[in-house]
Chain A
């Protein structure tokens, strides 16, 4: 185990608490606008976890993409849909309890198994100081192929999204 500085540990537990509470609120609150706001809190706290892991680039990308773009888009969609922001919605159905138990079992099992493993390849000490540079270098050299294929993926997603969202003239 890598020794963890106590203040990092405290920060981690605070962020984890925020993530779990806001995540639970996203899937349980009755007003969809409040859910969207909780989602922003949840995603920002995840960015905090990335900073604790010294993955600054991921943290910035998380804030820019998920907090900045995706959540704002969700809020726009909620506000532009008439009456959605004031409606009371029920997010659960009769399977909620079963689903909750399955989630708890999965989470507990995962935590137990991860905790029982001591052979992780810790590379924290070998992390490059400037990991944005390193990510860029890797993307343009070793991981060039998946990087290029992702651009095909984006074309497919764009065309599909425009096709689906377009209003049909009959």
Chain B
């Protein structure tokens, strides 16, 4: 028996390997300093995603790293992978940067573990973004999620945090099981785990006139349910508010951006990369687009409407992130040349605004110990700069021009409208965009409620908030991102447009 090992082109995996080693360095550093490393370990962890990003860019320009496949076509660096890697590294940067306030009294004993696990979760996301095969995709998704169970329960003596960890663990296990169940049907049908090969094989079977639609329907339903849990799309969203509320605030932020983007990548690879060939009238019934559109519409409606009633800002942000996932899915079901690029750009803009807003929430929580919306009353009098910053983030999340959130919503809706106009099959997208526009008005209401609290309530609730250096850095970067990419989205968009259209994903 021959045992030819595949050529593993390690060049292409340098960002992942580097970040993994960096996480080990963070663990080790915390241990050798006898756990008295103070803020140094956090700075060390913060350098991880930054250095990985710089290293990638340097290697890219030096021609040492580029688009290509490795590990027997299991691993592929393509524009989509690179774009989402930037989002993942950015989310890790923001999450670590806004955690410094926790080090004073909340996280004392296990600093190395806290930051190291964030980095390991990011490593999983990076692998996920580059996978083109179901098993590595699943393993990447698990590596993303398992550290997050621990991170959600990191305040061991806080009842809410432990509850968040348990809930997230059970929901995570259930969603993984559903996803795996769906993928096992796919494997049974195509006999291969490589998504591109699978697509060809199933197209061949379907071309012979044998019905694959029935079993594809089953796998579509189970995969949609599994990824629906990860993306918190209603009716699979019940866990999100409790987990966001109980988890440490930077972890909630990381969940809402990093983990959500990971779910999106998995969705794009499985559904758009794998199933899109079956968006053919001949091969019905396989209308996963309609199913996804229903989930997206319910996400926009439920997320925005329930967010209005929340008094805890972390729960409100949880419902807001459910709604944002709905907007993202509008772009996803457009299934035209712009769908993946608009989704990627939306996620990019959402990262800055959402991580920024969560950084402000973390800052206020560290200062006052409260996440109630009433805490924000009179913030503009005590800390005017912070109030302005928060206002900008919230307006970007609402989608007010000229901020990045507006451009993001515009491109997502434009992709859907273009698709709806091009083919009557996509007529339902008009309805979806209509739901999106109407619910955006509702979103304005609850985001503006916080702005109203900050500016038009007289009671100065807190003493001036003090900033530490990393928090200033995080807020400045997020603010720049929201404003600059709102005014000049072209460079990022050009990069996003390199992401191949649905039919050509994985094709080379």
Contact = CB atoms under 8 A, between A and B. Distances in A.
Contacts of B121: 156
Interface string A29-70: 000000000000000000000000000000000000000000
Contacts of B1: 133, 137
Interface in A121-170: 121, 123, 133, 137, 140-146, 149-150, 152-153, 155-157, 159-161, 163-164, 168-169
A144 B5 contact: yes
Given A142-B72, A145-B75, A149-B127, A117 B5 contact: no
Contact of B139 (A137, A140, A149, A164): A149
Given A114-B218, A145-B75, A157-B146, A120 B5 contact: no
A114 B215 contact: yes
Contacts of A153: 124, 139, 142-143, 146
A45 B23 CA distance: 41
Interface in B50-84: 70-72, 74-75
A118 B212 CA distance: 8
B117 A156 contact: yes
Interface in B126-157: 127, 135-136, 138-140, 142-143, 146-147, 149-150, 153, 156-157
Contacts of B136: 145-146, 149
B32 interface: no
Main SS class of interface, A: helix
A81 to B, nearest CB: 16
A116 B153 contact: no
A148 to B, nearest CB: 9
B96 to A, nearest CB: 16
Nearest to A147: B139
B26 to A, nearest CB: 11
Contact of A120 (B109, B120, B127, B188): B188
A152 B144 CA distance: 11
B36 interface: no
Nearest to B218: A113
Interface in A9-42: none
Interface in B183-228: 185, 188-191, 205, 210-212, 214-215, 217-218
B92 to A, nearest CB: 14
B117 A141 contact: no
A132 to B, nearest CB: 13
Chain B CB within 10 Å, residue with most, of A114, A143, A150, A168: A143
B57 to A, nearest CB: 24
Contacts of A160: 113, 117, 146-147, 149-150
Interface string B91-108: 000000000000000000
A140 B3 contact: yes
Q: How large is the interface on A (under 10, 10 to 19, 20 to 34, 35 or more residues)?
A: 20 to 34
Interface residues of B, number: 51
Contacts of A116: 211, 214-215
Given A145-B74, A159-B116, A117 B146 contact: no
A109 B150 CA distance: 35
A144 B191 CA distance: 19
A119 interface: yes
A53 to B, nearest CB: 12
Chain B CB within 10 Å, residue with most, of A110, A156, A168: A156
A164 B149 CA distance: 10
A164 B8 CA distance: 36
A117 B206 CA distance: 12
Given A113-B214, A137-B1, A144-B71, A159 B142 contact: no
Contacts of B127: 149
Nearest to B215: A117
Given A113-B214, A114-B215, 5 more contacts: A113-B218, A117-B214, A150-B139, A160-B146, A163-B150
Interface of A: 109-110, 113-114, 116-121, 123, 133, 137, 140-146, 149-150, 152-153, 155-157, 159-161, 163-164, 168-169
30 contacts: A109-B218, A110-B218, A113-B214, A114-B185, A114-B218, A117-B214, A119-B205, A121-B191, A123-B191, A133-B1, A140-B3, A140-B5, A141-B5, A144-B8, A144-B72, A145-B70, A146-B135, A149-B124, A149-B127, A149-B136, A149-B139, A152-B124, A153-B124, A153-B146, A156-B120, A156-B143, A156-B147, A159-B113, A163-B110, A169-B109
